């Protein structure tokens, strides 16, 4: 029977158990993951099982990392995710957090666009570090993603987006996450993508200010447009932008991008 071990297909005798496979392939492994779930006992293997063996403390080469970083994904998910191209327009609280979530997934290509630099006031909710203050957000985030998952390809565009360059800069993306601050910029990006990039979905953020209830942030699907947020709260006096609620909305966006990649929310 054929078993996949650390992303390599192997033929093993029928009746082979998990521990027998470990001894034959990676006897020094400390952690065993079977079909995305940790396995703490010896189990009989069956045709098509996916097994990942991990040795604690070992530094792995890039060629080995992909399987280990995706060990907890459901079987079959990583194949689709690793081929996906996702664009992110705006790399503030929403965009930077969504980018990191998608990088941890192992999304094949991320296209990042922003023209701003990291400022001290960004650190309260955006995925940057004090050492990155003053740097372009595109360059800083690309560096961070490389530390998280070196297999993710990152294309950066340090420019202001407009109706003319959006289709060019995000060419190849099947999903674009809209993460702007201003309503006019949000409207510009959404209408441009829906009118000029046929087949591409837009996942927009609307309403995540303050510290209102987490469960008020929801995902609403409107054809090729998906809106994440409570669709009402705005940043202002007494309702600032803070990491927890902004992060909840950003992860709604990242999760919706994943569902679109997997074909779960297609029209």
pTM of the predicted model as reported, rounded to 2 decimal places: 0.88
97 and 50 together in one domain = no
Sign of the alpha-carbon dihedral angle for 194, 197, 200, 204: negative
Give the Cα separation of 120 and 101 in Å (integer).
22
Would you say 172 and 129 are in contact if contact means Cβ atoms under 8 Å apart? no
Q: What is the mean pLDDT of residues 5-23?
A: 92
Assign 3-state DSSP to the chain and report helix, strand, coil percentages, each to 5: 35, 20, 45
* Res. 236: pLDDT tops 70: no
- With vertex at residue 240, the alpha carbon angle to CA 234 and CA 242, rounded to the nearest 5 degrees, is 110
Q: What is the mean pLDDT of residues 15-28?
A: 94
State residue 136 phi and psi, 5-degree precision.
-60, 140
Q: Whole domain around residue 45: which residue ranges?
A: 2-72
Pairing of the two strands 85-89 and 175-178:
parallel
Question: 37 lies in a domain?
Answer: yes
Question: 267 lies in a domain?
Answer: no
Q: What is the mean pLDDT of residues 142-168?
A: 96
Q: What's the pLDDT score for residue 144?
A: 98
Q: What's the pLDDT score for residue 6?
A: 86
Q: What's the pLDDT score for residue 267?
A: 61
Give the Cα separation of 92 and 119 in Å (integer).
11
Helix (H, G, I), strand (E, B) or coil at 160: coil
110 and 32 together in one domain = no
Q: Which whole-number Å values give the CA distances from 144 to 147, 183, 232, in the listed order? A: 5, 28, 32
Question: 88 lies in a domain?
Answer: yes
167 and 201 together in one domain = yes
87 and 215 together in one domain = yes
- Total count of domains within the chain: 2
Question: 243 lies in a domain?
Answer: yes
Q: What's the pLDDT score for residue 179?
A: 97
Give the Cα separation of 32 and 219 in Å (integer).
35
Domain-ending residue, one of 72, 94, 123: 72
Domain-ending residue, one of 51, 72, 93: 72
Which of the four pLDDT bands, split at 50, 70 and 90, describes residue 238?
low
Compute the residue count for the chain. Answer: 267
Which of the four pLDDT bands, split at 50, 70 and 90, describes residue 30?
very high
Q: What's the pLDDT score for residue 76?
A: 78
Question: 33 lies in a domain?
Answer: yes
Give the Cα separation of 200 and 172 in Å (integer).
9
Helix (H, G, I), strand (E, B) or coil at 200: coil
Domain-ending residue, one of 72, 100, 115: 72
Burial 217-230 (b: 16+ CB within 10 A, else e): bebeeeebbbbbbb
Give the Cα separation of 112 and 91 in Å (integer).
7
Give the Cα separation of 102 and 80 in Å (integer).
13
91 and 199 together in one domain = yes
Question: 120 lies in a domain?
Answer: yes
């Amino acid at each position: 029977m054929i078993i996949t071990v650390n992303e390599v297909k192997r033929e093993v005798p029928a009746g082979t158990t998990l521990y027998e496979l470990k001894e034959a392939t990676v006897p020094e492994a400390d952690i065993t993951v079977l079909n995305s779930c940790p396995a703490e006992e010896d189990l009989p293997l069956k045709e098509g099982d996916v097994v990942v063996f991990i040795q604690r403390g070992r530094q792995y080469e890039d060629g080995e990392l992909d399987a280990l970083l995706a060990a907890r994904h459901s079987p079959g998910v990583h194949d689709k995710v690793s081929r996906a191209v996702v664009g992110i327009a705006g790399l503030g609280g929403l965009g930077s957090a969504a980018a990191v979530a998608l990088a941890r997934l192992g999304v094949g290509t991320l296209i990042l666009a922003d023209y701003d630099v990291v400022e001290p006031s960004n650190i309260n909710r955006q995925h940057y570090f004090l050492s990155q203050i003053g740097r372009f957000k595109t360059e800083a985030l690309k560096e961070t993603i490389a530390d998280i998952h070196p297999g993710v390809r990152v294309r950066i565009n340090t420019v202001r987006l407009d109706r003319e360059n959006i289709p060019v800069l995000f060419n190849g993306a099947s999903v674009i996450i809209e993460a702007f601050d201003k309503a006019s910029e949000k409207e510009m990006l959404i209408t441009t993508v829906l009118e000029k990039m046929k087949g591409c979905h837009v996942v927009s953020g609307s309403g995540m200010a303050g510290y209102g209830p987490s469960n008020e942030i929801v995902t609403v699907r409107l054809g090729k447009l998906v809106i994440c947020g409570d669709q009402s709260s705005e940043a202002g006096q007494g309702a600032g932008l803070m990491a927890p609620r902004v992060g909840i909305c950003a992860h709604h966006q990242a999760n919706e991008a994943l569902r679109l990649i997997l074909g779960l929310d297609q029209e």
